[in-house]
Amino acid sequence: MGDTRGGCCPSMDLFRSEPMQLVQLIIPIESAHRTISYLGDLGLLQFKDLNAEKSPFQRTYAAQIKRCGEIARKLNFFKEQMLKAGLPSKSSISQVDINIDDLEVKLGELEAELIEINANSEKLQRSYNELVEYKLVLQKAGDFFGAAQSSAIEQQREFESRRVGGDSIEVPLLLEQESSVDQSKPVNLGFLSGLVPRGKSMAFERILFRATRGNVFLKQAVVEDPVPDPISGEKVEKNVFVVFYSGERAKNKILKICEAFGANRYPFTEDLAKQSQMIAEVSGKLAELKTTIDVGLLHRANLLQTIGEHFENWNLLARKEKSIYHILNMLSLDVTKQCLVAEGWGPVFATKQIQEALQRAASDSNSQVGAIFQVLLTTEAPPTYFRTNKFSTAFQEIVDAYGVAKYQEANPGVYTIVTFPFLFAVMFGDWGHGICLLLATLYFILREKKLSSQKLGDITEMAFGGRYVILMMSLFSIYTGLIYNEFFSVPFELFGRSAYACRSPDCSDSTTVGLIKAGSTYPFGLDPVWHGTRSELPFLNSLKMKMSILLGVAQMNLGIIISYFNATFFKNSINIWFQFLPQMIFLNSLFGYLSLLIIVKWCTGSNADLYHVMIYMFLGPTEDLAENQLFPGQKNVQIVLLLLALVAVPWMLLPKPFLLKKQHEQRFQGQSYAPLPSGDDSLELDSHHDSHGHEEFEFSEVFVHQLIHTIEFVLGAVSNTASYLRLWALSLAHSELSSVFYDKVLVLSAGFNNIVILIVGIIVFIFATVGVLLLMETLSAFLHALRLHWVEFQNKFYEGDGYKFLPFSFALLDEDDE
């Protein structure tokens, strides 16, 4: 729920949430801002909204919130500019030495300066890009006219040699069409030049032809490298074009088509001398603009670097101010309008710290009147606050994902630290795979300081957050793997020699006939010789199935025992006598007895059929057990247990609703809250009293609820016990998958005596092990262990209908989006 803060002594009861109290603060307005700031530094008070009926715009400090929002906008603008420039903000641990008023002025000046620099830079860059395009047009179009003029001179010489009149060469590019032109009529041709995006060049040419009915002549040249567009700034592949036309009407059409296709037009002259002069002028302007742009970019980079050095401090100050005014908007004005009234929840142990913060704020604000602190007695359910550390936080989050514990309800997170990784390991037991998980987890743990400050991917961040859960899972997997004697499905004689030997010298019959016991029992875990023998699978089936039932019944009994501690803590005798006792009797009369039979059968080596015993305990309780009898007087014990199980059902169902009705009639109906005479008095809460305590008692509703609860427990006792068999199923599946990958991939590839096949086999084995066993199987076992805790374990005692303690704390600003 939160890390230990403030250096105060934590509660020694790890199984219960911290005792909470509702406090009221009466704060003078002149010291209100500093008081809330100091309480934010302390981080141990959750404020109540006393203005819930007001909209955000109707609250007292709406203008200040808007002002902080404007500051945040400017900071976001700077952040975007720094990201574009590739200048990350630098983390600084120095104290913020500027107040919010000075910060607002400074940010306004910096924003205006940066906007002006950006505008000038964009204008200069656009001019630079236009000049680049203009230079390309001058070069490419100049090549058009130069080539055409050379061709025209050659043709003129040829015509003169044939004595064919002196034709004009004013429009040399149209000489090839002169044969179809009436030479008696003078033709005035114009032309336009520019660049058009290459992807639109074919459509551009077709539209020009259709719009002018073929009365144009178009020449295009490809620009080898993409050029930055003056408008968008993006690099685009373009073609230089020159289009010749006749008449103003055609020119207007061409201009509209150029505008529609985003073609940039530039002036051009036919005079070769002027072309060279213009190219030289454009090149000079480009050099000047480049220098000016570089100077502007350097100035902009220096400005952003200066902002980046202070950005984190400024951002933290802005977020703190906004959060303070959010809290101030939750407070109400007293009748004199000289003080603000605050109410909130805080841990009992933090009383002295809160009072010290109030005194310090009044002193630093030079306030003549200090804040008043008083504890309120209330029937409202307090928030739940468990103090956690980096090890226990992930386990607590597993529980909170199901539901937050009710105030001072027993915390399943403490038990989960052991039971969750253990049940996972029962399904995942292989000490080779456990070592792989351990190495991956140690990487996260050893580099946690560095990784915690980095932005990780979703999956990596999830694994990093649960690194201590995975650590416990890997350690328990190594333990259960040693019990199963499996290292990537391969057994080892780690703790001594096997107790069994083959019947024949060559062990050819070990997989068919079986083995014989030739020595003392293997000291720890499964005997390695059992792997691969004829009896392995039936033996493991029986062992793991019975072990799953034992673990399940044990954990369900633990859940019921915790419900007893809950009832004892809240002094609820009704739940002790009419919930805990009948549930314990019912569960253990049936499944506790089954667990006892399993242990007796293991100890005696009996061949009794436990399925037959349990079935006929209901169908024929008086029949003789014959060869299925495990101990003297077993039949009588079973009859007694069956009668107790039958009595336990109405015991759970009938008395409790009537007793609750009687208790309701006698209960004192107090006010919602009232001031305590002393701040040291502790909060006493009626565990059965909620926000509906003043409503009429609905007996029918309570009875139906108890009926549902009884049916759920009776049926759940059967289904929950069966659900624990997933421990057996997943353990066998993991073992068999591991064995298949080892035998059918690694061993099979080694049998070919080919180094290439062996390398391929090793690679396939590694990928299969990592992908299937270390990732998919880990996730599968994790989810099944999660279900066993949420449903089979926690439903015996855990209500999970509380709400989390969320104190106002500056330390949480990095996690919450203010």
- Which has the minimum average pLDDT: 145-154, 572-581, 762-771? 145-154
What pLDDT is recorded for position 674? 42
- Segment 104-130 mean pLDDT: 92
> What share of the chain in percent tops pLDDT 90?
57
In this prediction, residue 505 has a pLDDT band, given cuts at 50, 70 and 90, of low
Q: How far apart are CA 651 and CA 775, in angstroms?
A: 47
Residue 724 clears pLDDT 60, i.e. is over it: yes
Please give, one letter per residue, the 3-state secondary structure of 313-327.
Answer: HHHHHHHHHHHHHHH
Return the axis-axis angle of helices 655-666 and 634-653, rounded to nearest 10°.
40
What is the H or E stretch that residue 328 is in? Answer: helix 272-328
Provide the 10 A C-beta neighbour count for residue 339.
22
Tell me 743's DSSP state.
I
**pLDDT tens digits, 726-744:** 999 999 999 989 999 999 9
Calculated CA dihedral for residues 140, 192, 256, 207, nearest 10 degrees: -70
The band of 607, judged by pLDDT with boundaries at 50, 70 and 90, is confident
Confidence of residue 513 (pLDDT cuts 50, 70, 90): low
Helix axes 201-211, 248-260, angle to 10 degrees: 150
CA angle 218, 262, 139 (to 5 degrees): 50
Q: What is the pLDDT at residue 268?
A: 82
Q: How confident is the model at residue 512 (pLDDT cuts 50, 70, 90)?
A: low
Is residue 153 within 8 A of residue 307, CB to CB? The reply is no
Mean pLDDT across the chain = 86
Report, as an integer, the average pLDDT of 636-645.
95
- Of all residues in the chain, the percent with pLDDT exceeding 70 is 87
pLDDT digits (tens, 9 = 90+) for 139-176: 888 877 777 667 767 777 777 776 544 444 444 444 44
Closest CA to 799 of 404, 485, 453, 429: 404
DSSP string computed for 576-602: IIIIIHHHHHHHIIIIIHHHHHHHHHH
Query: Which of the residue ranges 121-135, 177-191, 727-741, 767-781 would you say has the lowest mean pLDDT?
Result: 177-191
- Least confident span in 432-441, 586-595, 667-676: 667-676
Residues 419 and 813: beta-carbon distance below 8 Å = no
Bridge-based pairing state of the strands 339-347 and 20-28: antiparallel
Q: Does 357 have pLDDT greater than 90?
A: yes
What pLDDT digit, counting tens, does each position of 669-709 carry? 544 444 444 333 333 334 444 444 445 788 999 999 999 99
Tens-digit pLDDT profile for residues 708-718:
999 999 999 99
pLDDT in tens, 205-255: 999 999 888 888 888 888 888 988 888 888 899 999 998 888 888 889 999
In this prediction, residue 670 carries a pLDDT of: 47
As a whole number of angstroms, the distance between CA 563 and CA 414 comes to 15
Query: Under a CB-based contact definition with an 8 Å cutoff, are residues 525 and 484 in contact?
Result: yes
Question: Using one digit for the tens of pLDDT, what is the confidence trace for 42-62?
Answer: 999 999 999 999 998 889 899
50: β partners: none
20 backbone dihedrals φ, ψ, rounded to 5°: -115, 160
Strand pairing class (46-47; 339-347):
antiparallel
DSSP per-residue letters across 276-291: HHHHHHHHHHHHHHHH
Q: For the residues of 500-568, what is the DSSP string, one character each?
A: EEESSTT-TTTTTT-EEE-SSPPSSSS-GGGTTSTTHHHHHHHHHHHHHHHHHHHHHHHHHHHHHHHHH
Contact (CB, 8 A) for 487 and 458: no
Asked whether the CA dihedral 538, 541, 547, 550 is positive or negative, the reply is negative
Strand partners of residue 218: 243
Is residue 588 a contact partner of residue 557, using CB atoms and an 8 Å limit?
yes
Residue 733 pLDDT = 92
Q: In whole angstroms, what is the distance from residue 577 CA to residue 658 CA?
A: 14
Q: What pLDDT shows up at residue 5?
A: 40
Q: What is the value of pTM for the model shown?
A: 0.79
Count, residues in the chain: 818
